[in-house]
Amino acid sequence: MGLVREFSGKGRLLGSWASSSLMLLVLALMGLVAAGAVVLLPHAASIPPVLAGAATGATALPRRRQDETVQPYVKFMTLGIALVRERLVQRVHLDACSWSDRFLQGIETSAQLRVFVHDLKLYLLERHPLTAETKTICAVYADVQTAIDDALDVQTGIDEACRQAGREATGDELVARRQAFGTALAHCGHLLRFAYVHGRRSESEELRALRAKAMSNDAFHSPAVPSPRRWFDRWLTR
């Protein structure tokens, strides 16, 4: 439960095989340290000074502040846990980044990205009504919108220059267009990682539906108004 509470709002402990393995390793080390402390505690006074000094020196490495009353050998045993936990924090963050990068694959235009980000913002605001989370969502969304506008400006400028000169885009122009769109994708990834970190696995299907809607041609056209039914249509369809 301690790990679950610590990583709440930071990521998913079971986001990948690597993070799952690190979590199990942390739990195993915590169990070993607890068992070792129970065994060694009655014999703390008989530990050789050399070993006690080595343990104290090892625990002097940069890490979080610890309780000064903890025995040096206990600090030495928990040093491994601290290192694995730091690795677990990094792995959880990388899992979120990898997930958002994979999720955005297939979105190829700024128009698709704008539709998806708008729907994603509404989706998140509906499920995270707290004031602090709402401010975060709106702030990240504003950054995404700015990046998309910049990408559209770059694309429009290049298209206009090519049209006036009657030529294809140069290599530098293609790179500039790709970089601007990549920046917009990166900002969108920030908002998507918020959905990943603060959401649940069961919401993945709903997020994929938002992505499919943005990538569909129907997202850019108003639905056709159905023609009025005539009073005798029901008899013709029997």
Looking at the domain 105-219, which fold is it?
Substrate Binding Domain Of Dnak; Chain:A; Domain 2 (1.20.1270)
Question: Does residue 200 or residue 222 have the better pLDDT?
Answer: 200
Q: How far apart are CA 45 and CA 205, in angstroms?
A: 59
Q: How far apart are CA 89 and CA 208, in angstroms?
A: 26
Q: Residue 54 — very low, low, confident or very high, per pLDDT cuts 50/70/90?
A: very low
Range from 52-56, 64-68, 191-195 that averages highest in pLDDT:
191-195
Indicate the residue type of 75.
Answer: K
Q: How far apart are CA 135 and CA 221, in angstroms?
A: 31
| pLDDT reported for residue 55 | 43
Q: Where in the chain is the domain with CATH 1.20.1270?
A: 105-219
Q: What pTM was computed for the model?
A: 0.69
- Condensed to tens digits (0 to 9), the pLDDT of residues 5-53 reads 767 667 777 778 888 888 888 888 888 777 766 665 565 555 554 444 4
| pLDDT reported for residue 48 | 53
- The number of CA neighbours under 13 Å toward the Cβ of 203 is 14
Three-state secondary-structure class, residue 13: coil
The whole-chain average pLDDT of the chain stands at 78
- Condensed to tens digits (0 to 9), the pLDDT of residues 73-129 reads 556 567 778 888 888 889 988 999 999 999 999 898 999 999 999 999 999 999 888
| Listed residue (35, 107, 45, 105) closest to 77, CA to CA | 35
Q: How far apart are CA 140 and CA 134, in angstroms?
A: 10
Provide, rounded to the nearest whole percent, the portion of the chain with pLDDT above 70. Answer: 69
Indicate the residue type of 228.
Answer: P
Mean pLDDT of 207-211: 93
| pLDDT reported for residue 236 | 44
| pLDDT reported for residue 181 | 94
Round the CA-based radius of gyration of the chain to a whole number and report it.
28
Taking 70 as the threshold, does the pLDDT of residue 63 lie above it? Answer: no
